[in-house]
Homo-oligomer: A and B are copies of this chain.
Amino acid sequence: MAKTTKHHPKINHDPGLGERYLNNTKRIINKDGSFNVARTGDGLFWRDTYQNLINMSWFKFIGLIIILYFSINLLFGSLIYFIGIEYLSGIEPSETELQKFLDAFYFSVQTFTTVGYGAIAPKGIWVNLIATLDALAGLLGFALATGLLYGRFSKPRAKLEFSKNALIAPYKNSKALMFRLVNKRSNILMELDATVMLMHLETQPNGEIQRKYYPLKLETKNIHFFPMNWTIVHAINEDSPLYGYDLEKLKTECAEILILIKGFDDTFSQVVHSRYSYCPDEILENKVFEKIYTINQAGDILVDIDKIHAYREV
């Protein structure tokens, strides 16, 4: 941290991350934008059922549906098997017990999915009642699946990709901290706004060590359009809390550059937020970013979003 710290504008409160937890903590904002905070408490899982079902991977989600599909039909199939498959018409006689169970199971499948071939059909009040509930369970189950599939598909997923490194490069008559971001999806994002803070440990006059937060002033804090990439620049001049910085010292102070991007997703008509952070070992000196776009003969601008991380020596 610069020696001139006390002259810099300080955020007069922490941004919601606390001042007192310390020392052996890892980075605060993980690379995927989540916070390095685990939560415990009663019934936390069930409180988040919908969100879990929406956010789990497609592989897990489809797997879960298949497991539930077979389980429910095993349940209803067993019920019918124990009542007796003589209440199913169309069953061929003289079968093994396994065969009988499979008949009951497949009858349940045909009811649960409402296929109802009818080659096997229910007889008598009890099997008919079970079939009645089986079909209801099936319809409600697939109603649920419909909602979940829609929820999974339609959740806003504007995904900003940040450059792996923040760079420190000559800028005007001084230096500047720079990083950049690109929209990995083709959603149209607009009205982006960036907030950047420096967080580090500071020893108080009374010897206590506290986390402190300083805003980093940006050359451009917000943009109207975001069709390509955006390079965010903080000039390290005399007004900057990074003035006279020392990357090694920042490392021992557990410093972290915290970034909050807010924008409007014009495709889903929703406000989106993105969080990111750079630790001192991700900050490189005397590098500049490579251009991310080319212009072809026809005058079209071509952006290669995989080049977002590319930099070169000054």
Chain A contact residues, CB within 8 Å of chain B: 13-18, 20-22, 24-26, 34-42, 44, 47-48, 50-51, 65-66, 69, 73, 89-90, 102, 106, 109-111, 113-122, 125, 128, 131-132, 135-136, 138-140, 142-151, 153-154, 156, 159, 184-188, 190-192, 195, 219-220, 223-228, 230, 260, 262, 264, 266-273, 275, 291, 293, 295, 297-306
Contacts and interface: CB of A to CB of B under 8 A. Distances in A.
A230 B13 CA distance: 12
B121 A273 contact: no
Contacts of A225: 15-17, 35, 260, 275
Contact of A295 (B25, B35, B219): B25
B21 A293 contact: yes
Given A13-B219, A305-B40, A185 B136 contact: no
Nearest to A229: B18
A8 to B, nearest CB: 19
A127 B215 CA distance: 66
A66 to B, nearest CB: 7
A102 B114 contact: no
25 contacts: A16-B224, A16-B225, A17-B227, A17-B228, A20-B291, A25-B299, A25-B300, A35-B227, A37-B302, A39-B302, A40-B303, A40-B304, A44-B305, A47-B185, A50-B154, A69-B136, A106-B128, A109-B131, A110-B116, A113-B138, A119-B121, A140-B142, A142-B143, A144-B153, A190-B260
B111 A224 contact: no
Contact of A147 (B120, B153, B223): B153
